[in-house]
Chain A
Amino acid sequence: MKTKGKLTFIVTIIGAILFLAASFLVWNSIATYRMVNTVTPSLEVLRLLKETQSRLHNQQYNLVHFIVSGEDDYRKNFISRRSLIEDKLMELVRMVWEQQARGISGEDKVEENINIVMQKYLRYLEKAEACIQTKRAGRTDEAIRNLDIEATSYFDAELLPVLSRMSRDEKLEIHEAYSIITRRLGALPWVAGPGMEQVERAVSAVDYDLAVSNAELGMYRQVNELTEFLLYGKTGEWEEFLGYRFEMRRLLDEWHQTIARQQALGMEGEDDDEKQFEAIRARYENILLLMEKTAAIRRSQGRSAGLESVERTLRFPLDNVFFSTMEVIGKESRDEVQEAHGALLRTVVIGSAAGLTGIVLASVLVLLLVLRMSTTIISSLTLLKDGTELIKGGDLEHHIRIAGSDEFSELASSFNGMADSLKERNDELRSFIYSIAHDLRAPLVNLKGFSNELSRDLAGVMPALLMGLTSLNEVERKRVAAVLEQAIPEALGYIDASTQKLEALISAFLQLSRIGSRVLDPEALDTEGLVQAALRTFAHTVKEKNITVTVGPLPSVVADRMDMEQCIANILGNAFKYLEPGRAGVVSITAERTKDEAILYFQDNGRGIAPDDIQKVFELFRRAGKQDTPGEGVGLAFVKALARRQGGNIWCESASGNGTKFCLSIPVKGEQSI
């Protein structure tokens, strides 16, 4: 394969590769985008769970304090927290339904869990209500006992764990989603760098947010642990409370680690976060001291402490600043998550768009290249076509010129070589025919000449011979006379006629062979004018035989002048020659113009041609019908050859005794004027 073919091949392959790459990238980008999008609701779920948990802790706190102190404010708070929590849970359910409607899988489990939570929460509320009623009925001790056995333990053992589990699951899902995204981004090279960075930031933001809420919840739990100890004074609870210090400190450390990670990633605002953290940690240590002191006091009171003293210890100054600060931090961390996630989404979208644009541009370029190559190919093909048309028309010397060294230029030179060898062959043939005809002619001259001389000489001696005959007897005289006066002249006559025929044949043969030698010179011809000119050459014949000729309007055509003149002359000659004896000749010449050709009709009312002979008249040296007029049988063969050369044709419609119509068609291109 040469240059052009190879190039086209390469470009096509590149085009195909680009297309495949584009398809893959589009699919990948869409998948990544969708993945990033599914993380968003998970983050929402996490937030809702967090908020539900803290509200629950708050509700429990109010319950305990009401059971112990009986202050109605606590009861009212307890009740108001309920609608808040139920709202949160409804929000969760709605979110899950939305996800399911979008066809996102895995939400069934979440829905199941939410149902469990709702059931358990209702159970918890029942128990809590029961305790409240007991307290309002005045049976405080019973209330306190039931609180421990029913409400609190249910809260700790049944309700909270579900929520923590859900949070954990959600977090795992988010992490998993992010790692898939990271993998996907790997396949989008130009997005990978910034994309993965965004993912890391989003992950660290999520972790930070989670660490913050875990710390907050941890604080709640530790307060509850302390409350339980203060209420019931059990040793186990004292130890649990103490042990929870380590848990809290662990949670705070975790929180600190997330800040460190964010600082390592170069995220902004981490210094403020650090400051906030340090403040919280300091605050916690203070609270812890306070709680330990209160616990110590309670311990010293022992289990026999009365409700009043319990109540007093319960009123240990809970640092609301701690929780309100945590709320603020929590909100900030949530915003950070939103932002980091949003940044990731944007990066993916922009990156994909950029990549896709790049690929689209590349594809367009490839397309343009292919287009250009196609036009080059087409123009080469057109050159070839035009060139071969010219060669077909007889111009064997025309050479197709296509620059370059590709398949087309090779094809062109092949054609040129073909034309050259055709021309050579043609020339050889022609000189061959020529020399044959020439060589044939020379003996003909002798044949004719000496047969004539013979006649002449015979005529010269005839008188003397005839005189000499008188010396013979009657029979002998008659015999010799017959020979002299009939046989010999007859023989000479036949010899003469045959020689003449031979000459005519050779002449026709030569003429026919010369047809291909002249190069076609098409020009716009006034067909009517040509016909009139031809008629003028036949004027004598027309007048003598009293033939009526009508010429209709004839369209002008583009053809070779000499060929057309020859055709018209031959056809008209036939029309004027083969009249029906006894019928005055009428010849009409008309024409028809179709989209592709002009057809000239030569209609006469002569003797016609039998259907079987119609093919024969076009054959070389063949004639049809009565042979009472001179002719060699070459005229129509000529016309056929000439017409064919122009790209046209000749045919005839006729019947014996019914006149003949010859139809000569010439191809026309484009618009011609009538």
Chain B
Amino acid sequence: MEHQVPVTILLVEDDPGHAVLIERNLRREGIANNIIKLDDGQKAVDFLFKNGEYSGSDHPAPLIILLDLNLPVLSGYQVLQAIKSDERTKAIPVVILTTTDNPQEISRCYALGCNVYIAKPVEYEHFSDAIRKLGLFLSVVRVPETRS
């Protein structure tokens, strides 16, 4: 078996309740990776590009980003756009995890370059199911090394 470098999960979600639910379900699925929680878009961008309050900090190991669209300061779209338009970050897999299931929204995100789009269903069974599957996905996905 190949040695895989553990992936750090960046969860950008402004609703604390959702953040807790997502983390709990991931853990329930057996994901033991480090989860970094940020609650607004600007913080996410600063973190990724080592700007603002994160300047000078150590960039973590390979990343996968769980991104909500409804974020304060900078919206999920803007974050997605920033990620996908920068050479340093555009290869990072992005999973859009949001409440809306509008098809137009979905295609818009794919057009921007997201990798996966998951609608947060209110039906809790479905929700936890989806997160578990995501967990499974995360455990098998190979993520490229992020350049420093």
Q: Do A and B come from one complex?
A: yes
Chain A residues with CB under 8 Å of chain B are 434, 438, 441-446, 448-453, 499-500, 503
Given A449-B18, A449-B127, A503-B122, 17 further pairs, Cβ under 8 A? A434-B102, A438-B70, A441-B120, A445-B18, A445-B21, A445-B99, A445-B122, A446-B17, A446-B18, A448-B123, A448-B127, A449-B21, A450-B17, A450-B21, A451-B124, A452-B124, A452-B128
Contact of B145 with A by CB under 8 A: no
Whether B122 lies near A441 (C-beta < 8 A) is: yes
Residue on B nearest A514 in the bound complex, by CB? B102
Whether A499 lies near B70 (C-beta < 8 A) is: no
**Smallest beta-carbon distance A437→chain B, Å:** 9
Q: In residues 109-148 of chain B, which contact A (Cβ within 8 Å)?
A: 120, 122-125, 127-128
Residues of B within 8 A of A445 (CB): 15, 17-18, 21, 99, 120, 122, 127
The answer for the CA separation of A445 and B127 in the assembled complex, in Å, is: 9
Whether A446 lies near B21 (C-beta < 8 A) is: yes
Whether B21 lies near A442 (C-beta < 8 A) is: no
Whether B21 lies near A453 (C-beta < 8 A) is: yes
Contact of B107 with A by CB under 8 A: no
Chain B residues with CB under 8 Å of chain A are 15, 17-18, 21, 24, 70, 99-100, 102, 120, 122-125, 127-128
Residues of B within 8 A of A500 (CB): 122-123
Residues of A within 8 A of B100 (CB): 438, 441
Residue on B nearest A446 in the bound complex, by CB? B17
Whether B127 lies near A442 (C-beta < 8 A) is: no
Known: A448-B123, A453-B24. A441 touches B99 (CB 8 A): yes
Residue pairs across A and B with Cβ atoms less than 8 A apart, 21 shown, are A441-B99, A441-B100, A441-B122, A442-B18, A442-B99, A444-B122, A445-B17, A445-B18, A445-B127, A446-B15, A446-B17, A446-B18, A448-B122, A448-B123, A449-B21, A450-B21, A451-B124, A452-B128, A499-B122, A503-B122, A503-B123
Residues of B within 8 A of A446 (CB): 15, 17-18, 21
The answer for the CA separation of A499 and B122 in the assembled complex, in Å, is: 9
**Smallest beta-carbon distance B13→chain A, Å:** 10
The answer for the CA separation of A105 and B127 in the assembled complex, in Å, is: 114
Whether B124 lies near A449 (C-beta < 8 A) is: yes
Residues of A within 8 A of B122 (CB): 441, 444-445, 448, 499-500, 503
Residues of A within 8 A of B24 (CB): 453
Residue on A nearest B99 in the bound complex, by CB? A441
Residues of B within 8 A of A443 (CB): 17
**Smallest beta-carbon distance A607→chain B, Å:** 29
Of A451, A453, A499, which is in contact with the most chain B CB atoms at under 10 Å from its CB? A453
Residue on B nearest A451 in the bound complex, by CB? B124
Residues of B within 8 A of A444 (CB): 122
Residues of B within 8 A of A450 (CB): 17, 21
**Smallest beta-carbon distance B97→chain A, Å:** 11
Residues of A within 8 A of B124 (CB): 448-449, 451-452
The answer for the CA separation of A444 and B15 in the assembled complex, in Å, is: 12
The answer for the CA separation of A438 and B15 in the assembled complex, in Å, is: 13
The answer for the CA separation of A444 and B18 in the assembled complex, in Å, is: 10
Residues of A within 8 A of B125 (CB): 452
The answer for the CA separation of A451 and B100 in the assembled complex, in Å, is: 21
Task: Give 8 nearest A-B pairs by CB, closest first.
Answer: A446-B17, A452-B124, A449-B21, A503-B122, A441-B99, A448-B124, A444-B122, A448-B122
Of A445, A448, A452, A499, which is in contact with the most chain B CB atoms at under 10 Å from its CB? A445
Residues of A within 8 A of B18 (CB): 442, 445-446, 449
Whether B17 lies near A449 (C-beta < 8 A) is: yes
Residues of B within 8 A of A434 (CB): 102
Of B15, B99, B120, which is in contact with the most chain A CB atoms at under 10 Å from its CB? B99
**Smallest beta-carbon distance B98→chain A, Å:** 9
Whether A438 lies near B99 (C-beta < 8 A) is: yes
The answer for the CA separation of A434 and B105 in the assembled complex, in Å, is: 12
**Smallest beta-carbon distance A451→chain B, Å:** 8
**Smallest beta-carbon distance A300→chain B, Å:** 146
Residues of A within 8 A of B70 (CB): 438, 442
**Smallest beta-carbon distance B19→chain A, Å:** 10
The answer for the CA separation of A441 and B18 in the assembled complex, in Å, is: 11
**Smallest beta-carbon distance B128→chain A, Å:** 8
The answer for the CA separation of A448 and B15 in the assembled complex, in Å, is: 14
Residues of B within 8 A of A438 (CB): 70, 99-100
Residue on B nearest A441 in the bound complex, by CB? B99
The answer for the CA separation of A247 and B69 in the assembled complex, in Å, is: 131
The answer for the CA separation of A333 and B79 in the assembled complex, in Å, is: 119
